[in-house]
Amino acid sequence: MPVDLPWTLLFLGRLLLGGAFVVAGLRNIQNAAFLTGLMAARGVPRARLALGAGIVLQVIAGAMVMAGLWTALACAVLVLFLIAATPMFHNFWDHQGPDRAARINGFVGNVALGGGFLTLIAQSL
């Protein structure tokens, strides 16, 4: 039986992109106290509620991308999430040395994820 390469690549791409957010959301549950404090220090009102909403969004939208359900909408929601979260958690401009380098890497990684989501949106239209 021949393999449908474009379908297979799209399926794997959705699994990897969506799965990254499912895993990140689940990891954020374990780090909730630290992340809530960081968000509160950055002036996020009701930081615990905002973190909880972000975790739910990451897990549900990530799972939707993985499953190919309402892919364009789920990807758009995750792009908006990245726009809000990236400068908050990867603020390299406020750091020096190895910490700055790590935050730059996180920032660039999130930009790349955003590009992947935009590509999936374009593919699904």
pLDDT tens, residue by residue, 42-82: 889 999 999 999 999 999 999 999 999 999 999 999 999 99
Q: pTM here?
A: 0.89
Distance between CA atoms of residues 47 and 42, nearest Å:
9
The secondary structure of residue 92, as a DSSP letter, is G
- Residue-range definition of the domain harbouring residue 57: 5-124
Please tell me the predicted confidence (pLDDT) of residue 124.
86
Distance between CA atoms of residues 61 and 85, nearest Å:
15
Please provide the DSSP assignment of 40-73 as one string.
HHTT-TTHHHHHHHHHHHHHHHHHHHHHTSSHHH
Question: What is the domain count for the chain?
Answer: 1
